[in-house]
């Protein structure tokens, strides 16, 4: 696997190239939410083609919720101008964390494998803390990560976490600032009605419900609500790109009929995808990054990394045998797949 570092360099301008940029995290989430055993029959995720994804996709795999989580994480991490300033303002005003926002992807979903690739040196250190809004010293986040991922799979493991963070296994992201080493547990929902509070969670991100809705603290949920805008904003771009990808997959990785996808921009994008339907998805994603808006994201190939740990229901976080060719400063955490097919 490759770890890519992306930095926002200019505002969105060309709608076609902007959609190419959004299609990337949506296809990534769709690929990695496929069942692991089904992927292994095809040679693993790195070998799966766009056509394979269309044939192997099942209802619920790569759904809007998973893709939304992935897209929100990617947008904060890459300093998307429609999200990054808002997330940074909420961190400052409601959590007392200044210096700008970053994101760590967390929370394996469904029965597939969603890799969590993060730099330990750059994102989490022994002094990184998770701020939960209570008095007292904030817990050290890195120390509790193994327990949190075990709690995701096993209910009995949740009671072993400190009371202040015993609901942190529900987090989808950790949003915070790398320089100050301060982070907050964040839940991301594609439907505002599905927001739930829990011990350790501080922020809830969701699509805006009313036109004038702004960030606020919800006394009932004990969460800071962070609504994302439509009206030519991030949510509109996300949903247009999401339905474009779903229509393409439903059409067996070919250009959908006009009744399914009447927009000329969308049909152009699916034509480019169809031309690459028999190529590996991960290779196609690299091409799509080049085809997205020039200079929108500055993408740096930081390192090649191999998985160094797995997450299983029975044993929690387990180190893999050391690979002399892997970069020691990076970890890849992946949940073991469900036995259901």
Mean pLDDT by runs of 10 across the 341 residues of the chain is 43 73 90 84 92 80 80 87 90 95 72 44 77 84 84 85 91 92 94 93 94 93 93 86 94 94 93 96 92 52 40 43 39 39 42
> What's the CA gap between 33 and 18, in Å, rounded?
24
Looking up tokens 């989808």, which residue turns up?
Answer: 172
| Separation of alpha carbons 87 and 316, rounded Å | 31
> How many residues in total does the chain contain?
341
Q: How far is CA 211 from CA 116, 172, 227, 294, in A?
A: 34, 25, 10, 31
- Residue 258 tokens, joined: 């006009």
Cα 94 from Cα 91, distance rounded (Å): 6
Note whether 99 and 155 are within 8 A (CB): no
Closest CA to 2 of 299, 339, 254: 299
Phi, psi of 79 (to 5 degrees): 60, 45
Report the run of H or E that residue 321 belongs to, with start and end.
none
Q: Which residues contact 61 (CB under 8 A, 6 or more apart)?
A: 30, 33, 34, 35, 110, 112
Give the model's pLDDT for residue 125: 79
Cβ atoms of 191 and 228 closer than 8 Å: no
| The pLDDT value given to residue 198 | 94
Reduced to 3 states (helix: H, G, I; strand: E, B; else coil), residue 130 is strand
By CB atoms closer than 10 A (0-12, 13-18, 19+), residue 317 is middle
Copy the structure tokens of residue 254: 């070919």
In a 13 Å sphere around the CA of 172, the CA atoms on its Cβ side amount to 23
pLDDT of residue 135: 75
pLDDT for position 316: 42
Helix axes 64-77, 234-250, angle to 10 degrees: 130
According to DSSP, the residues that pair with 310 across neighbouring strands are: 318, 334
CA distance 151 to 149: 5
CB neighbour class for 211 (10 Å; exposed up to 12, middle 13-18, buried from 19): exposed
Nearest 10 degrees: CA dihedral of 180, 184, 187, 192?
-100
Distance CA 45, CA 25 (A): 15
């Amino acid at each position: 696997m490759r770890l890519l570092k992306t930095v926002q360099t200019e505002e969105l301008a060309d709608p076609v190239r902007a959609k190419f940029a959004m299609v990337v995290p949506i296809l990534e989430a769709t690929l990695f939410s496929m069942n692991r055993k089904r992927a292994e029959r095809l040679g693993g995720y790195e070998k799966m083609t766009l056509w394979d994804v269309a044939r192997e996709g099942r209802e619920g795999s790569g759904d809007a919720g998973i893709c939304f989580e992935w897209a929100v994480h990617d947008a904060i991490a890459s300093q998307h101008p429609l999200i990054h300033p808002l997330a940074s303002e909420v961190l400052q005003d409601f959590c007392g964390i200044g210096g700008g926002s970053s994101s760590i992807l967390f929370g394996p979903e469904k029965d597939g494998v969603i890799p969590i690739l993060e730099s330990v040196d750059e994102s989490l250190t022994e002094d990184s803390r998770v701020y939960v809004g209570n008095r007292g010293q904030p817990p050290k986040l890195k120390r509790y990560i193994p327990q949190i991922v075990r709690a995701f799979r096993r209910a009995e493991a949740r009671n072993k976490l400190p009371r202040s963070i015993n609901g942190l296994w529900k987090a989808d992201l950790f949003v915070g600032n790398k320089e100050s080493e301060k982070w907050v547990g964040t839940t991301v929902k594609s439907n505002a009605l599905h927001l739930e509070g829990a011990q350790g969670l501080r922020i809830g991100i969701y699509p805006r419900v009313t036109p004038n809705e702004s960030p606020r603290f919800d006394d009932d949920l004990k969460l800071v609500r962070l609504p994302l805008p439509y009206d030519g904003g991030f949510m509109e771009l996300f949903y247009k790109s999401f339905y474009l990808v779903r229509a393409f997959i439903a059409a067996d990785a070919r250009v959908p009929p006009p009744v399914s996808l009447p927009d000329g921009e969308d049909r152009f994008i699916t034509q480019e995808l169809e031309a690459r339907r028999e190529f590996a998805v991960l290779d196609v994603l690299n091409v799509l990054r080049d085809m997205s808006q020039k200079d929108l994201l500055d993408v740096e190939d930081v390192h090649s990394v191999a998985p160094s740990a797995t997450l299983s229901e029975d044993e929690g976080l387990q180190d893999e045998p050391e690979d002399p060719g892997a970069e020691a400063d990076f970890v890849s955490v992946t949940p073991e797949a469900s036995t259901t097919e």
